[in-house]
Structures are given as structure tokens and as C-alpha cells.
Structure 1
Amino acid sequence: MLDQRNYQGKFAEDYVRAMASAAGLLVYKDDLDYDGVDLGFRFPGKGGRYASPAIEVQVKSWSRPVERGPDLEFRGLSEVQYNRLVAGPFLVPRFLFVVVVPQDSEHYARVDTDGLTLSWLCYYRGFEGDEPIGEPDRNRHVTVRVPLGNVLTVRALRELVGAPT
């Protein structure tokens, strides 16, 4: 069995993959997580002015969320990871996806007569216009405010990618 950290992280990626499937998007993964990107999402068609619009994301899981006003206050990115999301410009937009999960893995998924329920929610944040950290250190962490209103839904994911809704 996976250790708790990897178990939680794998569930978070699978949660986001399920959302992408429901949104009709293709999911891709680089052969190495070398550039700070866990998953990419692409619409297999024309979205507005562009063919095959896409986004790339860093997926993080979190079992002990901290709320400050209208935001989650996420401290799970090192300065190096943060810069990989911020230090563009990027041809393909980048986002942070934070999947808030139960502390007990027994509660990650529930099956009942209405179907399958995945717990709990995924939130997202973009970084366009944010400034990278000068001389980042992989041992220092940065606080990222993720709006509680940015819940990843099928519609929101399609909008982020640039797919027709």
C-alpha cells in the first residue's frame, strides 16, 4: 500500500482527472515532473480563436486546510515550485489546483444509491501578473492565497481551458 503522502497525492490527481473526463477534455502528463507541471488538459477541438486550447497544472492535496477570510492560505509550495508556476510568460497558461481531502483516506470516496461521491473539493488559482521570487530556495515555502470561490467544477475547468461551455 502507498504511504499516506503518496496515497493522498494520487487521489488528488485522480480527482482532477475525473473532472477532466466529465468536461470532455484530454489529459496529458509529461514523462518527468521536471518543470513544475503535473497534468495538462486539452480541448480536442476549436475553442474560440484557438485549436486545441490547453492549460497545465500543478496538483496539490491538502488534508488540513487553513481558511483566512475569503481564501485558503496554502503553504504547500516551495519558492522553486512557485516560480515554476509564475515565472513566465508561458505559451500554455499554468494554474495551481489544490484538492482538499479528508484526513482519513477511508472517506476519499463514497458509493451509495445515487452514485459515486469524491471528497471534498478542488480549488484553483492562476498566476498571470504575479512576480516570481528572486533567488528562490527549495527549502523555503511561500503562502499562496487561493480564493474559496474558485471551486473547480466541470464548467470552470472548461472555461479555464478555453473550451466551449
Structure 2
Amino acid sequence: MLEAKQHQGKFGEDYVRVLASAAGLIVIQGDLDADGVDLGFRATGRYGRTMSPTVEAQVKTWSRPSVSNGHLNFRGLNERQFNKLAGPDFTVPRFLFVICVPADKQAYAAMSTDGVLLRHLGYFVSLRAEEPIKDPDKKLKRLVRVPTANVLTAAALRRLTETQADW
């Protein structure tokens, strides 16, 4: 049996994989998360001037979300992790995906005659406009405000990927 944090993190990544599958995207996973990226997503074919557009994401899960003024107040990144997503200098656009999950692991998924329900919702944010932190400290957390309007759906993930040049 997985430890609680492992179980929660695996569910979050699998949640995003389901969305990518529903969107018709290819999921890319490196052999080691040494650069702040958990998963990549690629659309096949040409989109405007871009062939096989790709985006990358760090996937974080959160069982007790804090919401105010239309934003999640996410404090799950340390300064080093933040810097691996912040700023405009990435060849492939990067996003933070925050998957809000139930505190009770038994409630992650539910079956009904209509199908499977995955709980709760995922959100995305680009940190491209954020300034990387000089001399980041992995012991210090960095607040990231994630708009609750940025719900991560299959359609949203496909749009992020297909329009990656806009990011």
C-alpha cells in the first residue's frame, strides 16, 4: 500500500493523465523529475506554424484548499520549485497544475451507472510573468495565486497545448 502522500500525488498525476487521454494528447514523462516537470503533453499534427506543440507541467495535489477572491492561495511550492516554473526563458511552456483532492482517499473516485467520477477539480496557472527568486531557498515556501476560473478540463488542456506558442 502506498503512503498517504504518495497515494495523493499518484492520484493527481493519474487525474491529469485521464484528462490528457480524453483530450487526445500524448503524455510524456521523463525518467527523472530533476527539472521541475512531472508530465508533458503533446498534440499531434500542425497547429498554425507549430508542429506537434508541447507543454509541460508540475502537478501538485492539495487536500485542504484555501480560496479567497477567486484564487487558490497555494503554498505547496518551495522557492526552488517555484523557480523551475517562473519566468519566460523556457523553450517549452510550463504550467503549475494544482489538483484539489478529498482529504479521505476513499473519496478520490466514485462509481455510478453513468461512469466514474474523479474528485475534485484541477486548476492551472502559468508563472511565465513571475520573476524568479534570486538565491532561492528550498526551505521557504512561495505563495502562488491560482485563478479558480482556470479549471483544468480536457478541453482546457488541449487548448493550452495547441496554443502553446501564445504562452
TM-score of the pair, normalised by structure 1: 0.97
Name the structure 2 match of 1:42: 42
Distance in structure 1 (CA, Å) of the matches to 2:67 and 2:6: 24
CA RMSD of aligned residues (A): 0.9
Q: For 1:140-155, list aligned pairs within 5 A.
A: 140-155=140-155
User: Where does 1:78-117 land on structure 2 (aligned, <5 Å)?
Assistant: 78-117=78-117
2:126 corresponds to: 126
Q: Who is 2:3 aligned against?
A: 3
**For this pair of structures, how many residues does the alignment match?**
163
* SS of aligned partner of 1:86: coil
Structure 2 regions of 5+ residues with no counterpart? none
> Match of 1:52?
52
- Tell me the residue number matched to 1:68: 68
Q: Identity of counterpart residues, as a percentage?
A: 53
Q: Tell me the distance in 2 between the aligned counterparts of 1:129 and 1:114.
A: 41
Cα-to-partner distance string for 1:93-125 (whole Å, 9 max, x where unaligned) = 000000000000000001110101100100000
Q: Confirm or deny: 8 A CA contact 2:101 2:121 kept in the other structure.
A: yes
Deviation at 1:48, TM superposition (A): 1.8
- Amino acid aligned to 2:7: Y
Residue 122 of structure 2 contacts residue 152 of structure 2 at CA under 8 Å; is this kept in 1? yes
Instruction: Give 1:47 shift.
Output: 1.6
CA distances 1:25-75 after superposition (whole Å, capped 9, x unpaired)? 000111110000000000011122100001000000000000011100000
Q: Contact between 2:87 and 2:128, CA under 8 Å: does it hold in 1?
A: no
Counterpart of 2:72, as a letter, is: L
Query: In the aligned structure 2, how far is the partner of 1:28 from the partner of 1:56?
Result: 9
- State the distance in 2 between where 1:48 and 1:159 align: 13
- The answer as to whether partners of 2:85 and 2:128 remain within 8 angstroms in 1 is no
SS in structure 1 of the partner of residue 123 of structure 2: strand
Q: Structure 1 residue 155: deviation in Å?
A: 1.2
Structure 1 residue matching 2:85: 3-state secondary structure: helix
Equivalent position amino acid for 1:161 in 2: T
Distance in 1 (alpha carbons) for counterparts of 2:129 and 2:115: 41
Assess if the C-alpha contact under 8 Å between 2:123 and 2:150 holds in 1.
yes
Give 1:77's aligned residue.
77
